[in-house]
Structure 1
Amino acid sequence: MSRIEPSTNEMLDHARALLTSGRLVAIPTETVYGLAANAWDASAVRKIFSVKNRPPNNPLIVHVASLDRVVDAVRMPLAKPIESQLAAVSDLWPGPLTVVLPRGERIPDIVTAGNQTVAVRIPSHPVTLSLLNRCPFPLAAPSANRSNYVSPTTAAHCEDGLDDTVAMILDGGPCDYGVESTIVRLHESGPRLLRPGGVAAEVLAERFGLSVDTLMEVSANRQATKQLEAPGMMSQHYSPTTAVQLLYPGTTIVVPKNTGRIAFQKLADEEVSRYTVVEVLSESGDLEQVAKRLFAALRQLDQAQLTCIHIDTCSPRGIGRAIMDRLERAAAKSSEF
């Protein structure tokens, strides 16, 4: 029986009641769908980890309704350098930006994987903003899928792999961005990009008065440590079960039997004929369209019982940086290629 419900006022009130009682609710955001729990309730948050089979060292993002509600997750007052950094980007909220700040006292260890910082954002999706305004607590919400699998961008995707512990899936339509939020750590020593996403690194670098290279100067061994600063930092992530090969410029393409192709723009008929199935994400190669449709195409081809999936690549600039980050992590386990 489907747990997908329309995002009516009645259903939003019911979702608030479920969350208040410690249940889990899948929610739409402008990036991907999230699996939400009361962020102040350690027992409820523990269910997220159980349902997703998520490793306990992988922290969660906490969603709040407004800048005034950041105090629900963050320790205040902020140090002056951090306060200035937040002021430089706070007008990007609501939106696909997550900032890592000192953790507030009401946020339990399980949310932050024991870190003394917390990842927080204000989503721009009207359904989830309405739900957050109804709740007296913030919502901890990673993507609503099995850990390491392709993130969901529709309500129907959320049903795949989530058990009956999820009480409701609120339908907010397809996600606008299709890739997760950008994560930036704000610190007295300076801001650092932890994960590229819906807000381009170039935009943030300009706000902070830094070069993109400086903004991205994070310890090279951060992914090798057991303690992750933020979600989305594992080397293997967003992965379909089908093997993936990325098609970099100059790659000699050998197409095995029963191979699918995800193309970033329209292909010549001769190229299409080499593949069992082809998904074209944008007729013109528009990377915003590519990002929006990428995860849905990955899921679709992963269910087509293919031998492997070939995927186009792009320059890692702007939204292309987030696309390539996701694709490289998705392909990390496909070492046979």
Structure 2
Amino acid sequence: MKTLRLLIDPACIETDEAQSAIAQAAQILRSGGLVALPTETVYGLGANALDPAAVASIFEAKQRPSWDPIIVHIAGPVHENPMLEQLVTKFPPVVLGLMHAFWPGPLTLLLPRSAAVPDIVTAGRPLVGIRMPAHSVAFEVIRQAGVPVAAPSANIFSHISPTTAAHVLDDLDGKIDAVIDAGPTRHGVESTVLDPTQSPMMIYRPGAITAQQIREVAGPVINYEEKNSSQTAAREALPSPGVGLRHYAPRARLILVESTLAELLAHLARAAIPLQGDGRLGLMLPAELASAVLATPLKDATVFPWGHWGAPEELAEKLYTGLRALDAEGCTVILCPLPDAAGVGEAIRDRLRKAAHSAKV
């Protein structure tokens, strides 16, 4: 299969060229094909969510296990949405407030599924994850396709999520029908996944919409706590997308370092000592330390200039790009500091811990 690359400038979506590309992508989706879509979070691998064979091809292309449910994306009006009504039987009143506050946007809601939703989408679970993307291109492709679109991240299962079309092609070139290249994504981490049917509500995956924002709109919310489980238990259907213990991982061994900014270089240098002789060292480095690192034992490491430590949105946007860049440089070990849990920092910590799978110093 040759993967078609469709170029669209999100700022010029009304041009004939952009509309032609959108129409082509929509037709591929309607006909059961796979299209990688840019969203405001990461690139997603889309298929007609109502077509079990099309959804199965997502799992095949990604090498994704069947016990891992996927999110369905919709477009159109926030209220009285025909796609939503097709997918969901009912939902509590609090959901309307959440939709009004955060849709379109990076919030996925777990809602009672209708009979129209294939089992493969939810891994047989009674709730289906629904979100309405804010990215103009993804929204318009889904709207023109006229079908809800199942779309997990467009990468090989458990690998680093893609934030550019080039990242998608690194993993899936020749395995999918098309990728829409609309430039880098804005948030850089996946959507927040919330179950509003529980009391208190449950965040299964933190993201760009924070727990505090949700509380201000809809009341009490708690975070899901994952537990280590045996390999056999891991094959059971997960309660939500994004809760597997190992996701978002580079090929390199990822080691996390917990520290304040003032002591971070010393802690990174100390963590690097036992790694001498393990191969090429990569370093996710806050911008504030870019010049100071040259006077430390880390001066020979391959450095990715991550962003400013006090700007978690910037760190989130560049997280996956940095991990992929260090992988591409041939790093065998990557040292990465853990930012504070404030705001979207909680989502960054979640992704890094899953990528490192407990490797922390």
TM-score by length of 2: 0.85
CA distance in 1, matches of 2:309, 2:121: 41
CA distance in 2, matches of 1:222, 1:308: 24
The answer for the alignment partner of 2:15 in structure 1 is none
Contiguous gaps of at least 5 residues in structure 2 = 9-17
The question of 1:60 aligning with 2:70 is answered: yes
Assess, with a 3 A threshold, how the Cα gap between structure 1 residues 88 and 333 changes in structure 2: closer, same or farther. Answer: closer
Assess, with a 3 A threshold, how the Cα gap between structure 1 residues 220 and 86 changes in structure 2: closer, same or farther. Answer: farther
* 1:215 corresponds to which of 215, 222, 245: 222
1:186, distance to aligned residue in structure 2 (A): 1.4
1:71, distance to aligned residue in structure 2 (A): 1.4
CA distance in 2, matches of 1:219, 1:296: 27
CA contact (8 A) 2:3 2:173 kept: no
1:155, distance to aligned residue in structure 2 (A): 0.7
CA distance in 2, matches of 1:159, 1:114: 30
1:73, distance to aligned residue in structure 2 (A): 1.9
1:222-252 alpha-carbon deviations (Å, 9 max, x no partner): 9766221211101111001100111111744
Assess, with a 3 A threshold, how the Cα gap between structure 1 residues 2 and 138 changes in structure 2: closer, same or farther. Answer: closer
Amino acid at match of 1:266: E
The answer for the alignment partner of 2:190 in structure 1 is 180
In the TM superposition, 1:78-227 aligns within 5 A as: 78=91, 82-187=92-197, 189-210=199-220, 214-216=221-223, 218=224, 221=227, 226-227=236-237
The question of 1:4 aligning with 2:5 is answered: yes
The question of 1:330 aligning with 2:352 is answered: no
The answer for the alignment partner of 1:262 in structure 2 is 284
In the TM superposition, 1:239-318 aligns within 5 A as: 239-249=249-259, 251=267, 252-255=270-273, 256-257=275-276, 258-267=280-289, 268=292, 269-271=294-296, 273-283=298-308, 285-318=310-343
Corresponding residue SS for 1:279:
strand
Assess, with a 3 A threshold, how the Cα gap between structure 1 residues 158 and 205 changes in structure 2: closer, same or farther. Answer: same
1:118, distance to aligned residue in structure 2 (A): 0.1
In the TM superposition, 1:28-43 aligns within 5 A as: 28-43=38-53
CA distance in 2, matches of 1:261, 1:327: 14
1:165, distance to aligned residue in structure 2 (A): 3.4
1:221, distance to aligned residue in structure 2 (A): 4.5
1:333, distance to aligned residue in structure 2 (A): 6.9
Assess, with a 3 A threshold, how the Cα gap between structure 1 residues 307 and 59 changes in structure 2: closer, same or farther. Answer: same
Amino acid at match of 1:254: A
Corresponding residue SS for 1:293:
helix
* 2:87 corresponds to which of 59, 64, 73: 73
CA contact (8 A) 2:37 2:43 kept: yes
Higher normalized helix content (fraction of residues): 2
Q: State the aligned residue count.
A: 328
Corresponding residue SS for 1:234:
coil
Amino acid at match of 1:259: L
CA contact (8 A) 2:309 2:339 kept: no
Assess, with a 3 A threshold, how the Cα gap between structure 1 residues 73 and 264 changes in structure 2: closer, same or farther. Answer: farther
Corresponding residue SS for 2:288:
coil
Contiguous gaps of at least 5 residues in structure 1 = none
CA contact (8 A) 2:251 2:332 kept: no
CA contact (8 A) 1:28 1:34 kept: yes
CA distance in 2, matches of 1:247, 1:189: 35
1:220, distance to aligned residue in structure 2 (A): 5.2
CA distance in 1, matches of 2:7, 2:322: 24
Amino acid at match of 2:351: R
Corresponding residue SS for 1:261:
strand
Corresponding residue SS for 1:161:
helix
Corresponding residue SS for 2:307:
coil
CA distance in 2, matches of 1:24, 1:239: 23
CA distance in 1, matches of 2:38, 2:297: 34
Bigger shift: 257-266 or 165-174? Answer: 257-266
1:145-166 alpha-carbon deviations (Å, 9 max, x no partner): 0000000000111001215231
Corresponding residue SS for 1:105:
coil
